[in-house]
Amino acid sequence: MIPNATNLCRTSLPSLAPLPGADRALKPPGNPYSPWQEADELGLSIRYAPLTDTYSWWVPSHRLILVADRLTSAQERCALAHEVQHAVNADTECRPGLPASATWARRQEIRADVAAARKLIHAVDLEDTLRWATSREEAASELDVTVYMLNVRLHLREREQQFRPSF
C-alpha cells in the first residue's frame, strides 16, 4: 500500500455513508464475516500461487482472486476480503502509462481497504477488544486481522467519532 494512505483516506472519503456491500459489517458480534463465503456467493474463483511481491491479486477478466500461498491465516483473511471488495466494487485493473492510472489505482485500493476493514472488524468486537488489549498486535491477533487492517479500521472509528452528533 502507498505510504500516505491515511492522508488519502481523509481527502477521498467526503462522507461516511456506507459503501456498497458495507451493510454486511452490521452483522451481530459472534457472526464473523467470511471473505471465502462472500467470494463463493459472488461466483469468484480463488487460487493459491507462489506470489512473491504481493499478498493477493484481483483478475477481473477471469473473476479470479490469486492469493499468495505463504500467508498467515490473518493475512490470508484480510487479503481475500480486500480482493473480494475489488470484485464487489467492479474495480478494473489499472493499466500503467495512463495519466490517471496511479490516482485511480490508489482510490480503488483505499476503497477496498475501507470496506474490507468494516466487514472484517465489527464495531462492537473492536470496542470490546480495545478495552483489554495492551497493543495493536494483540488486538489484531484477537480480531484475526493484520495490524494494517486494524489500523484502517481504527482510522475509520476515529472519523466516525468525529462526526457523531452529540445530543
Residue 8 pLDDT > 50, yes or no? Answer: no
* pLDDT of amino acid 6: 36
C-alpha 140/C-alpha 45 separation (Å) is 27
Q: At the top level of CATH, which class does the domain 34-162 belong to?
A: mainly alpha
* pLDDT of amino acid 163: 78
Query: pLDDT-based confidence at 25, cuts 50/70/90?
Result: very low
Residue 20 pLDDT > 70, yes or no? Answer: no
Query: pLDDT-based confidence at 96, cuts 50/70/90?
Result: low
The pTM (predicted TM-score) of the whole model is 0.77
Q: Which residues contact 155 (CB under 8 A, 6 or more apart)?
A: 6, 9
* pLDDT of amino acid 126: 95
What is the share, in percent, of the chain residues with pLDDT greater than 90? 64
**Which burial class, exposed, middle or buried, applies to 113 when counting CB atoms under 10 A from its CB (0-12, 13-18, 19+)?**
buried
